[in-house]
Amino acid sequence: MRLNNSIEMPFLWSFFIILLLNVSVVQNNPKVLARVSSSPFSMRSNYTDLIGPGAAFNPDPVADVVGSGPGTRSELISRLAQNHPLCIDNVTAYVGQTARMFCCLARLERELSVSWIRKQDVVVLTHGHSVFTTDNRVTASSHNGVWALNIAKVGHADAGLYECQTNSEVKGSITIQLDIMETTAEIMGPTEKYVKVGSSLRLTCRVYLGPQGPDQDYRETAVVHWFQDQRLLDPILDSWRPAAGAVESGTHKRVTISSEFVHDELQGYLQVDNVTPYDAGNYTCVPSYAIPDWVQVHILHEENQARLHNEVSEVKVDVSTANSAVSFLNNSHSYRSVLSKQMSLFILFILTSLILNHCAFIVS
């Protein structure tokens, strides 16, 4: 049934005016426009997250760059999604700390699940937030479509390639190289230290932990141990070992050990008060997860210095005695030479006398 013109025209004009008013309200009201743009059903929201605010809206930006083939679109979307400061393809972690690798393939499609695979032995570590390995150091987390694989207390065996995969129709994947750096202890100062008896020995050991510094797990678990030769130094046990000349009744805390985090370093301190000759030896700093360092400590004692001086004097006396003995032997040798000459002359005289007597007897 068709309406007559007198009823149809006013109805159409009224509908057109209401439509224009709604469009004007949406465009001129920032709150309404923001609510519409931020809707999860709005393509403008995901597009703004991808290329940033202020860009002209394009309902299909990928189609302008590549064709509509599923493979090429998936590759480009993966590259665009990975365009994030956290999502890099080469990660460096320090021994003992937590390695974190990030995957941004689900930034544009946050309903996707992400799996992490260790490529060297093709082991699925996680799928979503579920962990499939028995290694309790491994966890997975996500925030705003950015997925992270966390490996606590990493060692050199954890280095290698890791792959992030999505469960999309055309699977996307990103490979990340994990490199592990060694941490090394360093005792400040020379490797040979000389300390006077009765004074204090102070050693400082530091470990560089990389530009990011220590993570929370490292702060909670890392310690610094000190060894004298092969004996672990313990302030409580050493308080029961009085120094030479100390009063036997009661205890005296001679050894003090402490540590702290200073910026990107772990620093350990050792102090031994009222040192004795027994405190000499090799001192080693052994931090958690780091290569140790050592120094040699020598204790200087006044009695040792006096004994050394006496030994030098005795050596001088022995040298002078030896010189006298050599002179005596030389003089004895000269005396024997003179005596042998006199004996030769005496024997020659006896022989001459015998010959003369024999000649006289013959003549007579």
β-pair partners for 75: none
The mean pLDDT value of the chain amounts to 75
3-state secondary structure of 15: helix
Longest CA pairwise span in the chain (Å): 206
Backbone torsions φ then ψ of 233, nearest 5 degrees: -80, 125
- The domains of the chain, with CATH numbers, are 30-59 (no CATH), 81-181 (2.60.40.10), 185-300 (2.60.40.10)
Between the alpha carbon of residue 157 and those of residues 154, 160, 180, 181, the distances in Å are: 8, 8, 9, 12
Is pTM beyond 0.85? Reply is no
* 282/279 Cα distance (integer angstroms): 9
* 235/78 Cα distance (integer angstroms): 57
Selection from 260, 262, 296, 291 nearest residue 279 by Cα: 296
Q: Mind listing the pLDDT tens digit for each residue in 45-83?
A: 444 444 444 444 444 444 444 444 445 556 666 667 677
Which of 11-15, 26-30, 81-85, 190-194 is least confident? Answer: 26-30
Q: What is the DSSP string of 318-364?
A: HHHHHHHHHHHHHHHHHHHHHHHHHHHHHHHHHHHHHHHHHHHHHH-
Buried b or exposed e, range 41-51, using 16+ CB within 10 angstroms: eeeeeebbebe
Does 296 have pLDDT greater than 80? yes
E-assigned strands of the chain? 90-94, 99-103, 114-118, 123-127, 130-131, 138-143, 146-151, 160-166, 173-181, 185-187, 192-196, 201-208, 224-228, 231-232, 255-262, 265-272, 281-287, 293-300
Residue 284 amino acid letter? T
Task: Give the relative orientation of helices 43-51 and 30-37 as an angle to the nearest 10 degrees.
Answer: 80
Q: Which range in 27-41, 155-169, 267-281 is most confidently predicted, on average pLDDT?
A: 267-281
Q: Mind listing the pLDDT tens digit for each residue in 164-187?
A: 998 776 678 899 999 999 999 999
pLDDT of residue 29: 54
What's the token pair of residue 249? 């009744």
Confidence band for 253, pLDDT divided at 50, 70 and 90: confident
Q: Is 255 buried (19+), middle (13-18) or exposed (0-12) by CB count in 10 A?
A: buried
* 14/314 Cα distance (integer angstroms): 127
Does 288 have pLDDT greater than 70? yes
